[in-house]
Structure 1
Amino acid sequence: RNLYTMLPQEEALNILVEFLNVHGYTKVKGIPLETIRLLASIVLKENVFVYGKIIYQQILGGAMGSSFTLTLANIFMWKWQKKLVRRQDMTREYYGREYIIENANTWHPNIKLEYKIGKSLPFLDILLTNINGTLSTSVYHKPAAESYVVPFISDHPRHVFEKIVQTNLRRAIKYSSTFQSFNDERRYIKSTFLYNGYPSTFIDKIFRKNFSGYISSRSFLSFIDNEDQFLHMRIALSGQPSRQQSQVEMRIATLTTDSDHLIEELDKKQEFPIQEKTNPNQFQNKLIIHYTHEKRFNTRKRDLHRIFEQTFANTPILETKLIVGNRNQKSTMKELIRKRPRKAILKNKPKANENRKKRHHQLHPKNQRNNNPIRNKHRHHLHP
């Protein structure tokens, strides 16, 4: 079960108010607890979704992608764990005992803890495996998880698809402690993206781009086929120092050099930090709202200011200056003419024949002179 979708809404809201009261809050940034509960109720209960052309409203739990649901779930478990902690104080028993967990699962119908004992255990998105006393890690996929990512036909920029593939590939490199587990995850990644409409050439291109520093440029494969290359890439990606780097760092640490004067100079530099000049933000503590001017919106500015003052009365939000402005409705001429044409376009162009004659005269000036009938006539009289 997922905790976020199993939270009882009214009980969770009551625990939220109790949590604030226990920690001495009567207001949070000037907002009363009743208002906080009302706002939290709107965020929690006003969630709808469409399935099978039918609109449903969520009546249990909260939205999965909401940061408020995460905070509310932690506060809800704060209340639940208080009873468990009191039981541990009385019995002086550890949390991990099986019958304690089984007993705790009877306290609330929606909160069920799971325990697992074996050679492999999942922790978040990592699978830990004990192989003859050696721990290995790999990427963990929930059994109910579907092979779904952002479809390639979705309206996203191209770099978004590339980053999604890179993120999955980097996670596979970091989490896979063996070359075999990495290859298994690499095949899973490629099949997942192929299932979601990603072209095979696009996936191979990103694979080759990420592995470019570790595979030969003459290789026709778009992935690593050598365990040493994989280990070298994993060390470089995880930021862990290699064996040679560790030895160098140990030698540097054991050197006894007189570096007191360097420390003093560093302290002097830190005593006088250079303060960069920053231009003041002219829009700080200002809320600007624009709307298109129409006759029926004549009182819109006054109404917005009145609602703003009534809603946030006696709160620090009133320190923010509300600016309401309007835009004029564009006329038909402005809608049709977006940009003024260049001056070169507005000038009259010379006729094509005149341009052709000028160009011909520039290219053949002698022929133009010899073909002149007047010049030929005078030449005939001078030389009969």
Structure 2
Amino acid sequence: MNTTVKNGLQLIQQVERWSATCLTPATSFVTMDVTDLYTMIPQEGGVAAIKKLMEAFGLRQIDGVKKEIILALTRFVITNNYFYLDGSYYKQIRGGAMGSPLTLTIANAYMFFVERPISKWANRTCSLYYRYIDDLFIMSNVHADILKGLVKFWNRLDNNIVFSECIGHTAEYLDVKLENRGGKLVSKVYHKPSYEPYFLPFTSIHALHIKKNIPYVALVRAIRYSSSYNTFKREEAYICMSLLLNKYPIQFVLEQFERVLQKFQCAVPTQKNYSKIRRIFLNAAVNGEKKAEIDFEVNIFCHFSFLKGMQDFPTRFHQLWKDCFSDTAICNIKPIVGSKRLDNLQDYLVKKKPHNSCLQLNPSTRHATNNGPSIT
């Protein structure tokens, strides 16, 4: 049974499906978070979790790479993480590097086995259970006092895993806020109190399509997450206020809102038709939006750093390509022009690579290397 969710939308879909038959005024939410998961997993324990997971699913290789090679590479990477602090480089001997794709994979594999007793309990008690990496979500009709005792028991399952929990009739999980209001499910977009109403400023040097997608995606999420029309209107007002504070022209915002309605082929939401319109948006997410297929034998990607004044660059590039190559052997190749973001302040301040002096062999090591046996 799949026990993971990728985003708040998937959680809402599962919660609404479960609530249709199981929600009562006594239903409680349980959210649990693993304390410092990425740095608490033992390195060999992470490698063992990858091995155990592959064996559980009968995988001897992935994309042509054998299991033994995958495990050897995993062990090499996870045991060779270094960081820089106050003029010195340190080797990480526990856990993995934050932000590393491998660390995320190891964390997911490790949690897959940690959560087994929890998911089995949820299945036996007809409770709802899902996990997003190190954030666990439970919706259950079991008494709250029993749930507190269970969390204490689950905290003893693995010495490396410590859960911090929140139990009650409301829950903030991912970007969703849920509430059991007397046996009625209420959902809306969750905004952390410490966050300011911030979006990418309209004056920033980014491609226009990126700025168009910001109000578009925000409104789609508002409709999907908001369980009532009034909740949706409050979220819509929050979106407009945040965009205006970040210098978005009101006409530009309204045009993107109109684009949402055209995309989903529905009328303007009102008190009467909101439930029907929201169901259209949720069903579209279930069915999935078809992405344009890319033939890599025909298409070639060209990425350029986006600078001010490059709005018309893709059109000019395609015309130049046509003028130069229309009568050549590569006339069937279709270029796809994309833009890369410029380096931001974090890119300049965060040191990801050692200084060149640290990468040079000292004289004694170089001498030993030169006099050593050659390998052919």
TM-score normalised by L of structure 1: 0.46
Task: Work out which of the two has the higher radius of gyration on C-alpha atoms and give 1 or 2.
Answer: 1
TM-score normalised by L of structure 2: 0.47
Q: Which has the higher helix share?
A: 1
